[in-house]
Structure 1
Amino acid sequence: MPFLPPITSLHTLPDPSLKHVLDLLFEPSPPLHALTLPVLRSTTFPSYSTLIAAISAQLQALAKSGSPGDIAKLSEILCSHPRLGEKKVETVSEQSRKEQAQLNEGKEEERKELERLNGEYERCFPGLRYVVFVNGRSRPAIFENMKARIARNDIKAEREEALQAMCDIAADRAAKLDKSDNSSL
């Protein structure tokens, strides 16, 4: 089982170790690495929840800037998360595999519906991938959430919701992986 190093040691770790920490919390994403490494190098965080909040603020700033370059970078970061229910994903983290395990089981028609909804979502929101904190939710609950977000058809709101989900996932992973700092999450 992977683990997180003590939060107070992050600023002293070499870049490959910092990237590994980011990959454990989020998903492997070179644009996220480039965005956050300078902050990780220059700041000591009291907890992983504070670190995740700082990264969330950076991502929110990208979303709010509205510049095409920032939006493209943000989209690439969000798309580092695998499609829900996708069985063969080479770059997916072990955490994603475990988190989505229940979605990969079940009836064939549910799997096809999830695949259909992923496609509909990506047509509605080009350049984005549906990101949600699954947290034990059933396929029908996920389907309803996807349908509601597609029906809302608001790209800015969608970016906000996907960012929040990404950070909720990171906080949950931190709580599970950080054996030295659980009390501060």
Structure 2
Amino acid sequence: MASIPSLPDIQSHGKSSPDSPLAETLSILFEHSPILLSKLEPQLHLRFTSEASSTAHIHLESYTQLVDISLQEIFKWDIPSQSEIISGHPRIGENSNLSKLSAAEQGALGLKPTPPEVLARLAHLNALYEARYPGLRYITFVNGRSRPVIAEEMEDVLGIEHSLEPDQPTVGTIKPIDQESEEWRRELKRAVGDVGKIAKSRLGALGVA
């Protein structure tokens, strides 16, 4: 399991860098994404160091505070940037190229493997969701729930019947939601919020909650 840099190291590192303790911590908690290093790390570094004005400078007291401040910054970003943060997380049901934390959260490390029909259904549900919400990836705070339960949650979000059919309904029957619509942006906000919930849950897994 990944170890996490100490709070003093995160706050006292001399300069903003893709290799800084802050960047390492963000990649662990939020999953690695280039925009974490190019945008979020510099923004937070400015708030946590003496480079900030006296009114903007923040003394970092906990990892939970780090997650909360990160979310504050992310919610200020434009829509494409917020969407990019979400895309750093693996799709529900993926088994390859997972971080150890993601694998544990999705149940990929369990003694009982996920049945192939459930994995096939999840792969199709991901395709349906991404057709419904172009530019988004389905993110949810799993919180110990099984993959079959998450599949049913995705079906409920999409408004379709619970099923293990690998290809129903077909992707071509899905009407996309416009990215300018309130529904699309509401789903984006929910997903970013769940990214934060996942990050806070990881603190517990890392023993630093």
TM-score by length of 2: 0.74
Q: How does 1:20-35 map to 2 (within 5 A)?
A: 20-35=24-39
CA 1:95–1:146 in structure 2 vs 1: closer, same or farther (change >3 Å)? same
Residue 93 in structure 1 maps to residue 122 in structure 2? no
Question: Is 1:84–1:114's contact at 8 Å kept on the other side of the alignment?
Answer: yes
C-alpha distance in 1 between matches for 2:158 and 2:75 = 21
Q: Quick one: which amino acid aligns to residue 100 of structure 1?
A: Q
Residue 158 in structure 1 maps to residue 173 in structure 2? no
Describe the superposition over 1:29-61 as per-residue Cα deviations: whole angstroms up to 9, x where unpaired. 111222222343232311111110111111222
The CA deviation at 1:102 is 4.4
Structure 2 gap ranges (5+): 49-58, 161-176, 178-182
Q: How does 1:27-106 map to 2 (within 5 A)?
A: 27-41=31-45, 42-43=47-48, 44-62=59-77, 70-89=78-97, 92-102=98-108, 105-106=113-114
Question: Is 2:106–2:147's contact at 8 Å kept on the other side of the alignment?
Answer: no
The CA deviation at 1:24 is 0.7
Cross-structure match for 2:164: none
C-alpha distance in 1 between matches for 2:65 and 2:7 = 10
Question: Is 1:4–1:178's contact at 8 Å kept on the other side of the alignment?
Answer: no
CA 1:34–1:178 in structure 2 vs 1: closer, same or farther (change >3 Å)? farther
Share of identical aligned residues, percent?
A: 34
C-alpha distance in 2 between matches for 1:58 and 1:133 = 20
Cross-structure match for 2:140: 132
Task: Classify the secondary structure of the residue corresponding to 2:159.
Answer: helix
CA 1:72–1:39 in structure 2 vs 1: closer, same or farther (change >3 Å)? closer
The CA deviation at 1:124 is 0.5
Structure 1's consecutive aligned runs of 4 or more residues displaced over 6 angstroms after TM superposition are none
Cross-structure match for 2:54: none
Describe the superposition over 1:144-179 as per-residue Cα deviations: whole angstroms up to 9, x where unpaired. 321232239621121111111100110011222254
Q: Quick one: which amino acid aligns to residue 105 of structure 2?
A: E
Higher relative contact order (CA 8 A, sep 6+): 1
> More helix per residue: 1 or 2?
1
Number of residues of Structure 1 aligned to a counterpart in Structure 2:
171
Task: Classify the secondary structure of the residue corresponding to 2:201.
Answer: helix
TM-score by length of 1: 0.82
C-alpha distance in 2 between matches for 1:103 and 1:84 = 14
The CA deviation at 1:103 is 8.7
Q: CA RMSD in A?
A: 2.2
Q: Quick one: which amino acid aligns to residue 176 of structure 1?
A: A
Question: Is 1:7–1:48's contact at 8 Å kept on the other side of the alignment?
Answer: yes
